[in-house]
A = this chain, B = another copy of it.
C-alpha cells in the first residue's frame, strides 16, 4: 500500500522531535524544517525558512505553475510527549504495528501533510500542467502559531491564492470523507497564584496561612455553573448561533452519545447540560483546565500548605466571539475573585485566533464534495470540528483564499495523547485526495 521509499521518508520526518513549544527542542525543530526544505526543493519549489526571535521557522514555499494559485497550510511541529513511560513504544521512534504507525506526529500533522505532499508529488509527476502551488508550514501550531501570526501581514502578497487546502482534521467514522465547515478558535494562558513565601507546615500554620492550592481550586471552580455552562460574564458576547441547515448537518456527522462514550471511556457529559453533543463540540465555546499543579504529589503524605499553585487554561472560541474580548472577560472574572491574602499572576497569555464557519453551499465546497464522492461512494459529510487551527482565520483574511479543509484523522489516532498513530490506509486516502483535488482545481 506504500512504497518502501515513501515509508522511509515518512519515518525520517517523524523521527525529528519537533516540539515547537519547547525551546529546548529548537535544534531538532530546525533540523526538521531543513529536511522539509530539501524535500520540497527536489520537487521544484523555492523554499524560505522564516523565523523571528528564536521561534521555530515558518516554511514558505512556492512552485510556479499555470492558471489558479493553490495555497496549502500544514504544521510540522508536534505536541510534547513528556511522559514517555506512558507510551507503548518510544514516542519519537516510528514503529509499525499491524497497518499502523505509532509515533508522536504520526498523524497530527506530520503524517497528514506529508501524505498530502506525496499525493502532490504523484500529481506533479503525472500532470501536463499544474497550478501555482504555495505552501506554508507552521512550526508553532500546537502553541498558538506565534511567529506566523506576527509575520502574516508581511506575507500578504507572497501567500495570496484562490483556494487554500488544509489536511489537519478528521474524516467521519469509518474513514468516511468529511469537509470541515467550521473550526473553533483557541487561546490559552497560565495562572500562577501565590501565597506564603515558602511551603509551610500545615499544622503550625493551618488556620493562619492562606492556601493557594485551595484558592486556585476556588478560582477554577468559579468558571462554570453547576449545569456545566460557562459562568464568566461577557465571555459569550457576540456568539453567532448556527443556522438550522448547519445544525442538522452537524447532528448527522457527530458521533452518538454511546459511540462517544466508547471512544473516550466515560460518559460524554462535558459542556452544558441540555445541549446536544453536536452543539457542544461544534458551536459552543469552552474553558478547559489543561493542568493544575500545586504542592506535594509524591508517595505518602506531606502535610504542607503550598506556597503557590499553577494552572494552565485553554479556551475554544466560536464565530462571533472576539478573542481579545473573551480573554479580557476571563481575566476580569479571575481578577475579581483573587482569594484573600494571595496574588494572581497571568503568564504566557495567548489571545489566539477566532473560530470560523464556512458557507456549506460554496463552489469550492461543491467541487471538494464531488472529488470525495468519486473517492468514496458514501460521499462527504460536513463537520464542525471542535478543534482549532489557530492561524487559519488569519490566513484566510490575508490571502483571500477559500479554505477547503479535508483531513483523514480518526479518533483512534489518539492525537495529543500517548500512542498517537496513523494507519497506512489513512495515509493512502490523504495522498489520493491531494492528487485528485489538485487535478480538479
Binding site for B on A (CB under 8 A): 21-23, 79-80, 82, 142-144, 170, 184, 186, 188, 190, 194-211, 213-214, 216-224, 228, 260, 264-271, 273, 277, 280-281, 284, 286, 288-306, 309-312, 314, 316, 340-343, 348, 350, 385-388, 411, 414-418
Q: Please state if A289 and B299 are interface contacts (CB–CB under 8 Å).
A: no
Give the interface centre of A208, A270, A286, A302 by most chain B CB atoms within 10 Å: A208
Q: Please state if A293 and B292 are interface contacts (CB–CB under 8 Å).
A: yes
Given A202-B316, A221-B218, A297-B310, A211:B22 Cβ within 8 A: no
Please name all residues of chain B whose beta carbon is closer than 8 Å to the beta carbon of A294 when the two chains form the complex.
289, 291-293
How far apart sit A312 and B304, CA to CA, in the bound complex (Å)? 10
How far apart sit A222 and B20, CA to CA, in the bound complex (Å)? 38
How far apart sit A293 and B415, CA to CA, in the bound complex (Å)? 22
Closest chain-B Cβ to A198's Cβ sits at a distance in Å of 5
Q: Please state if B203 and A386 are interface contacts (CB–CB under 8 Å).
A: yes
Q: Please state if B300 and A217 are interface contacts (CB–CB under 8 Å).
A: no
30 contacts between A and B (CB under 8 A): A23-B299, A79-B302, A80-B302, A144-B301, A195-B266, A196-B265, A198-B417, A198-B418, A201-B387, A203-B385, A203-B386, A204-B281, A204-B387, A207-B270, A208-B280, A208-B386, A210-B270, A214-B220, A214-B224, A220-B221, A266-B342, A289-B295, A289-B306, A291-B306, A292-B309, A297-B310, A297-B312, A301-B312, A302-B416, A304-B416
Please name all residues of chain B whose beta carbon is closer than 8 Å to the beta carbon of A207 when the two chains form the complex.
270-271, 277, 280-281, 284, 286, 316, 386
Stoichiometry, as copies per complex, reads 2
Give the interface centre of A198, A295, A296, A340 by most chain B CB atoms within 10 Å: A296
How far apart sit A292 and B184, CA to CA, in the bound complex (Å)? 30
Give the interface centre of A144, A186, A294, A416 by most chain B CB atoms within 10 Å: A416
Q: Please state if B303 and A208 are interface contacts (CB–CB under 8 Å).
A: no
Please name all residues of chain B whose beta carbon is closer than 8 Å to the beta carbon of A219 when the two chains form the complex.
217
Please name all residues of chain B whose beta carbon is closer than 8 Å to the beta carbon of A280 when the two chains form the complex.
207-208
How far apart sit A208 and B94, CA to CA, in the bound complex (Å)? 30
Please name all residues of chain B whose beta carbon is closer than 8 Å to the beta carbon of A22 when the two chains form the complex.
298-300
Q: Which residue of B lies closest to A208 (CB)?
A: B268
Partner of A417, one of B142, B200, B267, B342: B200
Q: Top 9 closest A-B pairs, CB basis?
A: A197-B265, A203-B387, A21-B300, A291-B295, A207-B280, A221-B221, A207-B271, A269-B341, A291-B296
Q: Please state if A202 and B286 are interface contacts (CB–CB under 8 Å).
A: yes
Q: Please state if A208 and B281 are interface contacts (CB–CB under 8 Å).
A: yes
Closest chain-B Cβ to A92's Cβ sits at a distance in Å of 16
Please name all residues of chain B whose beta carbon is closer than 8 Å to the beta carbon of A340 when the two chains form the complex.
228, 267, 269, 273
Please name all residues of chain B whose beta carbon is closer than 8 Å to the beta carbon of A273 when the two chains form the complex.
340
How far apart sit A342 and B190, CA to CA, in the bound complex (Å)? 25
Q: Which residue of B lies closest to A228 (CB)?
A: B340
Please name all residues of chain B whose beta carbon is closer than 8 Å to the beta carbon of A144 when the two chains form the complex.
301
Give the interface centre of A205, A207, A418 by most chain B CB atoms within 10 Å: A207
How far apart sit A262 and B218, CA to CA, in the bound complex (Å)? 26
Closest chain-B Cβ to A416's Cβ sits at a distance in Å of 4
How far apart sit A217 and B297, CA to CA, in the bound complex (Å)? 16
How far apart sit A302 and B340, CA to CA, in the bound complex (Å)? 30
Q: Please state if B416 and A201 are interface contacts (CB–CB under 8 Å).
A: yes
Please name all residues of chain B whose beta carbon is closer than 8 Å to the beta carbon of A386 when the two chains form the complex.
203-208
How far apart sit A266 and B308, CA to CA, in the bound complex (Å)? 12
Q: Please state if B211 and A82 are interface contacts (CB–CB under 8 Å).
A: no
Partner of A286, one of B143, B206, B310: B206
Q: Please state if A298 and B416 are interface contacts (CB–CB under 8 Å).
A: no
Please name all residues of chain B whose beta carbon is closer than 8 Å to the beta carbon of A199 when the two chains form the complex.
416-418
Give the interface centre of A143, A289, A310, A415 by most chain B CB atoms within 10 Å: A289
Please name all residues of chain B whose beta carbon is closer than 8 Å to the beta carbon of A302 when the two chains form the complex.
21, 79-80, 82, 142, 290-291, 312, 416
